[in-house]
Each structure stands twice: as C-alpha cells, then as structure tokens.
Structure 1
C-alpha cells in the first residue's frame, strides 16, 4: 500500500512523515517560507482528522492582507508564510469572458486601480490593473487567476476557496481538478445544499462547511457527506467547549472566525486571547491578523505528539 506523505516545513528545516516511519529532520535550501505539503487526498483527510495532539493553525482571511500587501495576492500569501505555516483563504470571482480570478468584491474600485464590475469586464482589462492594499496604497502586484494560485500553492500551503455567488461551482471544481490540486484545495460552502452540490461534483475534495450548533450537526449529517470530508466552520462567535468537543468526536477540525470582532478584541485586550480560543476547542483561527495570531498560539504546539502527523518549526 502506498504511504501517505504529509509535510510541514519551517524555515531551514524539513520534517516528513510516511506511514510506519519516524519523523526525519534534514536541512533544506528553500525559499525561506514555512510550508505545508499534502500530496494526496488521503493525506488531506489525515491532515484534517482531529486528534488530541493536533497542532493549531491560522487561516489567513483573504490571504492575510497587511500594509503593502493587498488581499488575494500571491505576494501577500508569501508574506504570511515568511512568519508561519498557514491555510490561505482566497476568494474566486469570474470575469465576463469566464476567467476565474482572485477577487472578493463584485466591484473593482476598492482593491484595484480599475473600475466596473468583475463580471462585466474581460480578463484582458483585469491584466492591466494593479492591486491596492487595504489603506488604498497602489502596489505593483497584479490580480492573480485561480489557476496561478493553485499552481503557487502546491507544496507551500493549504487553500480554502470561497466561491463568489456569480461563479458556477462546476467551473471551480473543474479548475481544481485540472490543476491536480485536490490534496490542498478545500472548497467553502455556507449552506448545506451548496455543500451537497459541491460534494457531488467533487467527492474527493475537503469542504469547509458552516456548522454552528447541534441542530446544524444533525442537518449536516442528513446531507450524507462523510465527516472525513469536512472542516467545520463554527462562525464568527466563539462556541461552547462542549460544542467543539462534539465536532471533535466526529473526527473533524473546527475553524473559528476571529476576523472582525474577535480580532478587534485581541487588539484591545492583547493577543493572548487567541490562545484561549484554541484552548477552548478552536483548531484553526480564521483571522485578518494571521502573523499575530500564529505567534500567540505557537506555545500550544504539543512537544511530544504521539501521532506526529506534522511538525511546525518554531523560529
């Protein structure tokens, strides 16, 4: 039987695990980026399979924008990975001529020096634009395509793909398959019918599905989607420990959306509150402050993980 290989790389160090083998450490000459490398769909299921010795992670909302680094830009993704391994959450929109690009808004004005609606302009126009950061500062960075992001992510990061409402699910699933990105690209759904449709289109892919209470656990199970294919997004408010434990009993990770109010609480009260979220059952923190949140939870990495599925090097 083929072994499953899951790799997490910290700056200057390489840690690999194959089934039946111990973790091996070797030196590498890399790009100076923390990396997560999941090489198969079975590896993805193992990576997201909850266990008591799991290692908490951050998910960089819209790629983790910072001053000088706009949202949904590949350069921004790499900026985050200089500081921490991360899941990269990105947004997919579609141009008038059906090219899938990374863009959150329907309009171009906030994040680029262009004008108009994404679905009313063609890709040739998109290619002429430059991205602006969240302070409105123009950068030299271009709007990436989904294909470029998938190509970039292989061997570097896990992705969660937020599909904008005008984009056909079929087209995104096809692009992920064409890029052979199934091991590292999970698709986001906000409703159970959407999750079921995505699962039917691409049953091998992981899905991020909104599950916020016991009733929604029941409704999710009625979809017939296996728990081995789901990462449970528990919303933008912290859930009780008992609810997180119920998700863990199903074998799934929880993603807590700390972006917005909870990120602001961390700014006001101190970044140590991120650690509290993890200690109360959040496995992944979806945040606009991935660098700060990762630093705050770095001390929670188990030192003697019996499963040793993956290892995050502490800079």
Structure 2
C-alpha cells in the first residue's frame, strides 16, 4: 500500500516538472513547496483499513470475518458486494422507501440513493434536477416546496407502476431509518453543490443516528462537498464519484453546456479534475471509496486504487456477464439497477 512519503515525492516531482516547463526553476520550487505543504497540512486522515473491515467493507475475494452488523462472524471468502442503484430502480420506483425495502428482500448488500433539497430546504431522495421523469408532476425539485412534493406519485412513470400504490418521494431521514432497521449499507450520493447545506443536514443525521457511522458512505461528484463534510466529522465514510468528461458531456454523450464559452473551457476543467482524482484529491479528502462509471474502468485503475487502500465501486453494472467481469475478475464493488441475476436491460445512469 502506498505511504505518505512515496505519495509526496512522486507527485511533487511531477508537479515540479509541469510547472518548470512553464515558469523558471525558482518559481516552480516555490509553488510546489506551497502546494505540497497545504496538501499535507490540510489533508484529512482516511478511515483505518481495520475499521473498514470491521464494518464489513472487505475487499472482494479475501477472507471476511465481519458480519453485516460489523460484529464479526464465520470466516468466508467475501463475494461480490452489490449495491442497488437508486434503491434498485429497475425493480421498484427509484429512490423510494418501497425500492429500499425491496432491495433488502432481494439480497442487496446496500442501496445507493440520491440526495437533493426542496425549495424550503427539506432533504429528499431524487436523482434528476426535475420531478418530470419519475413522477406525475413537473418542475425543478429546488423550486418546489416539500408539501407540494408530498402530493406527487413517484411510481407514476415506472414500468411496473401497476404493481405499486401511490408512492411518495421520501425524506433522507425516512430512508436512514429503514436502512438502520434492516442493517443495510447506505451510499448517499449528494447532488447539490452547496457544501454547507449538504454537510449541515448530514452532520445532523449522523449525530441523531450514530449507527450511520457503521452503515453509510457519503458520495459526491463535488470534492468540496466531501471535504467540507469530513472536516466537520472525520469519522464519516466518504467516496469521490467520477466519470470521464463529466463536466462537458452527459452520460449519453450529448453536450452538458449550452453557452459556447462553457463548451470551450469545460474539457479543460475535465482534464484537471481527472488528473486531480488520480493524483491528490483522494489523499487530500481521505476518502475510502471511489465510485466510477463502468466505461472508465481498467486493470490499471483497479490496481492503483487497491494500492491506496481504496474500494472501487463500479456503476451501473446490469448485464450478468459484466457483473461477473467487474465483480469476480476485477474484484470491484458493484452498483446495479436490479437485484435480478437475469436482468440485462441497460438503464440510463
């Protein structure tokens, strides 16, 4: 496993070379020195490996003696760790209590849900910016009050909507209560860029429900959200989330930005962000997990993260052959839309 000194020396030399090509040697030395000092001084220590194993987050394919409640059990080889994407959106209405309960019944090790806020600041579960796709309502979630959100049917557009009664968009707290009762791992994907609002809500939930420290992993595409949260509570498990060209392209490949100037600079920031993920963000934030789109996974990335003691979580893996490849061959944690082993449909992510 890589140690601090190896990390500092390797990345300092790389940074010095890049800056030295642009500026004079004295400036490169000064800038590198300041950046390395800040990174080392302000970094947050990661959760110890022993603690991760105690909680049941054992690397795939190695002996495990931890039970789902973190108290230990019979030693067995750890199998693929499968997380229900949005609670298992292919099996039940996504990001709902019904989906979480169904995922638990279907044998999921954990659920991944999406955190956003209503106009009046209530933390709710929803993936999109708007409620249009998943409910019978319309509008941006941040422009709707919680009382209005409660009137919407979250199963309205689901393929199996006839199997469900009217389903509501739940609050984060409702989700937490269900996961604690079922001892289900909970991956909370923070959608808001407001690091203060997000960390305020999450800190209050971890204080109110201390068992969350044994079950929950807070994830985000926004490193500032993760860093802000861990500065306030360094005992919370966290993950950085990433895919190629996330700032310039949507998952389907279409342009994310309408303005010409944003289209011009977004690829530059994409390159900087990806370089940062591979070189220093994981170290600075002290994260224990890295969530990555399946199209961006390589053996090199797996080995690189493994050497850093970071669990790689691949999304969204639906095809049985892909589950075998990523889970058994590359030994990654999996995020899937369905707990049905025969499910093959490629869902949008």
TM-score, length-scaled by structure 2:
0.61
CA contact (8 A) 2:186 2:215 kept: yes
Asked if 1:165 is matched to 2:192, the reply is yes
Corresponding residue to 2:87 among 63, 79, 98? 63
Give 1 or 2: higher helix fraction. Answer: 2
- 1:121-179 Cα distance to aligned partner (Å, 9 max, x none): 22122222221243384742221111100111104211111112265222332342223
Of residues 150-159 and 244-253 in structure 1, the stretch that sits farther from structure 2 once superposed is 244-253
Per the alignment, residue 83 of structure 1 pairs with: 106
Encode CA deviations 1:52-82: one digit per residue, 9 max, x unaligned.
4133211111111235x21001111111222
Asked if 1:143 is matched to 2:169, the reply is: yes
Partner residue of 2:220 out of 189, 207, 221: 189
Counterpart in the other structure of 1:128? 151
Shift in alpha-carbon separation, 1:52–1:116, aligned structure 2, 3 A: closer
C-alpha distance 52-288 of structure 1, shift in aligned 2 (>3 A): closer
Instruction: Give secondary structure in 1 for the equivalent of 2:214.
Output: coil
Question: Which protein is bigger by CA-based radius of gyration?
Answer: 2
Alpha carbons 2:85, 2:111 under 8 Å: kept: yes
Determine whether 1:286 maps to 2:349.
no
Aligned counterparts, 1:217-228, within 5 A: 217-223=278-284, 225-226=285-286
CA contact (8 A) 2:52 2:58 kept: no
- Relative contact order higher in (CA < 8 Å, ≥ 6 apart): 1
Q: Could you tell me how far 1:221 is from its partner in structure 2? A: 4.5
Q: 1:51 to 1:119 in 2, by over 3 A?
A: closer
SS of the equivalent of 1:278 reads helix
Question: Over the residues paired in the alignment, what is the CA RMSD in angstroms?
Answer: 2.9
What does residue 11 of structure 1 align with? none
Is there any run of 5+ residues in structure 2 with no aligned partner, and where? 1-49, 63-77, 244-273, 345-349
User: 1:100 Cα shift?
Assistant: 0.9
Please point out which of 277, 300, 323 is paired with 1:216: 277
1:222 is displaced (CA, Å) by 4.2
* TM-score between the two structures when normalised by the length of structure 1: 0.67
Partner of 1:176: 205
CA distance in structure 1 between the aligned counterparts of 2:145 and 2:217, rounded to whole angstroms: 27
User: Secondary structure in 2 aligned to 1:144?
Assistant: coil
Tell me how far 1:182 sits from its aligned partner: 2.3
- Unaligned stretches of 5+ in structure 1? 1-40, 296-315
Structure 1: distance between partners of 2:305 and 2:193:
31
